[in-house]
Structures are given as C-alpha cells and as structure tokens.
C-alpha cells in the first residue's frame, strides 16, 4: 500500500489493465444478439472476465452499406437459412423461438433505455427480458408501456429511466456509441471487443472472445 498519489494511480491502472474485460455490442433487432445476450453474463463470470454492455444500433451502419432493412430481409435465401439456423441454435441452448412480425422490430427505445442503464445492476436482466419477449414470444418491443413493465421486473426505477431515455444526452450518447462501434470496425451484431482492440463477430465467436480476453489478462 502507498499513499503516494502517482504510485497509487499506477497501481490502479495496472490493476485495470490486468482485469480482463469484454465489450458486448448488441442490437435489439438482431437474432444472433439474442443468443449471446442470454448466455454472456454467466459465461463471462465463469471465465473471470468483466462484462461491459454496449447497446447500439445497426440501422445507421447498414444504411451506409446501402441497406434499408436487415440483410436477412434483403437476401431471402439468407433469411430463410437464418431462421432455420436460429431454430437449431435455440434448441441447442434451450431457448424459446418465435419469429416476430414485423422483423426486424424497432429497438430504438429499448436501446436508449439500455444506454441509460448500461452500467446499472439491472442491465443484464432488462436486456435478456427484451430479447426473450421479442424472439422467445414474438412481442412488440417498441411499446413503451411494455418496456416500462420489463424495467420494473428487472428492478429498475422505470419512470426515471424512461424519462432519461428520451433526454438529448442519452440520444447523443447512443449516437456516439454507434460512431464508436464503427471506429472499432464493427459491422454487425453481436460483436465482442477486447482491451487490445481485438474484434470478434457473431454468436459463434463468443467462447473464443472470452478465452482470448482471459489470456490477455494472464500475459
């Protein structure tokens, strides 16, 4: 222990650098984000990796590729395959699956709420509740009253959170998150980013990302 502020600060930094962390970039309209969202908190804990929830929006990124909707809608063969693949993956993970109508849904309000709460203790429960409602039961996740209900179930102060979610600060913060995602090379969801900047894309890379995060901390 030291009382020297400079040394103290170095120790804190060193500790922070050695604490393995993973950023989980997810979009509420994304089917494969559902698969990762349901498992990442448990798996990160088991791997000794601390988890940073990073809700963002793919719409503005897709728009720059000239896409006005999900590529699963733009390319029908890819879309048909994705739903069958989701059936298989959900069966494997023991998750319910209902195709929401319409797909994709608007996840804007849910993403703003998650932006408000991304470092709050209720973020995991809220995120999972939204995804299960959407892809497990086919519910409409753009409905504000429904999201308020999910917030309360997750133990969040629903009224304050909803108010904050509509503030210019949060709208700006979510927009900045989209910009940050692009700077990190993200082009789809889910994506996982390590402290080194290493990027992993897709639910199929969740285990690899956690494994590398844990290794970095050991190095």
Q: Which stretch binds a copy of itself (CB under 8 A): 52-60, 75-83, 121-129, 169-177?
A: 75-83
Whether residue 47 contacts residue 210, with contact meaning beta carbons closer than 8 Å, is answered with: yes
> Which residues, other chains included, contact 216 with Cβ-Cβ below 8 Å and sequence gap of 6+?
20, 194, 195, 196
Whether residue 147 contacts residue 113, with contact meaning beta carbons closer than 8 Å, is answered with: yes
Shortest Cβ 130–a copy of itself spacing (Å): 26
> Is residue 78 part of the contact set for a copy of itself (CB under 8 A)?
yes
Q: Per-residue x/- mask for a copy of itself, residues 162 to 201, rule CB under 8 A?
A: --------------------x--xxxx----------xxx
> Is residue 145 part of the contact set for a copy of itself (CB under 8 A)?
no
Cβ density class 178-187: b for 16+ within 10 Å, e for less: beebeeeebe
Q: Per-residue x/- mask for a copy of itself, residues 38 to 67, rule CB under 8 A?
A: ---------------------------x--
How many residues appear in the chain?
219
144 vs 208 by CB, closer to a copy of itself: 208
Instruction: Report the sign of the C-alpha dihedral through residues 23, 25, 31, 37, in that order.
Output: positive
> Is residue 83 part of the contact set for a copy of itself (CB under 8 A)?
no
Whether residue 137 contacts residue 100, with contact meaning beta carbons closer than 8 Å, is answered with: no
How far is the C-alpha of 42 from the C-alpha of 218, rounded, in Å?
20
Shortest Cβ 126–a copy of itself spacing (Å): 29
> Is residue 80 part of the contact set for a copy of itself (CB under 8 A)?
yes
How far is the C-alpha of 166 from the C-alpha of 112, rounded, in Å?
8
Q: Under the rule (CB under 8 A), what is the footprint of a copy of itself?
A: 65, 75, 77-78, 80-81, 84-85, 88, 182, 185-188, 199-202, 204-205, 208
The catalytic residues are: 30
């Amino acid at each position: 222990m030291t009382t020297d502020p400079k040394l103290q600060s170095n120790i804190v930094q060193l500790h922070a650098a050695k604490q393995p962390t993973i950023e989980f970039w997810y979009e509420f309209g994304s089917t494969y984000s559902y698969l990762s969202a349901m498992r990442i908190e448990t798996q990160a804990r088991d791997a000794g990796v601390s988890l940073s929830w990073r809700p963002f929006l793919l719409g503005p990124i897709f728009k720059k590729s000239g896409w006005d909707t999900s590529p699963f809608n733009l390319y029908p063969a890819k879309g048909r395959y994705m739903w069958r693949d989701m059936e298989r993956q959900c069966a494997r993970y023991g998750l319910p699956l209902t195709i929401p109508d319409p797909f994709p849904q608007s996840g804007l309000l849910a993403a703003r709420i998650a932006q408000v709460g991304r470092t709050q203790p209720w973020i995991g429960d809220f995120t999972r509740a939204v995804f299960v409602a959407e892809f497990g039961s086919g519910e409409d996740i753009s409905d504000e009253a429904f999201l308020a209900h999910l917030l309360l179930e997750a133990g969040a102060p629903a009224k304050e959170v909803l108010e904050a979610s509509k503030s210019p600060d949060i709208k700006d913060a979510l927009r900045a998150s989209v910009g940050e995602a692009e700077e990190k090379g993200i082009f789809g969801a889910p994506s996982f980013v390590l402290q080194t900047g290493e990027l992993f894309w897709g639910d199929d890379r969740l285990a690899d990302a956690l494994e590398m995060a844990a290794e970095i901390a050991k190095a």
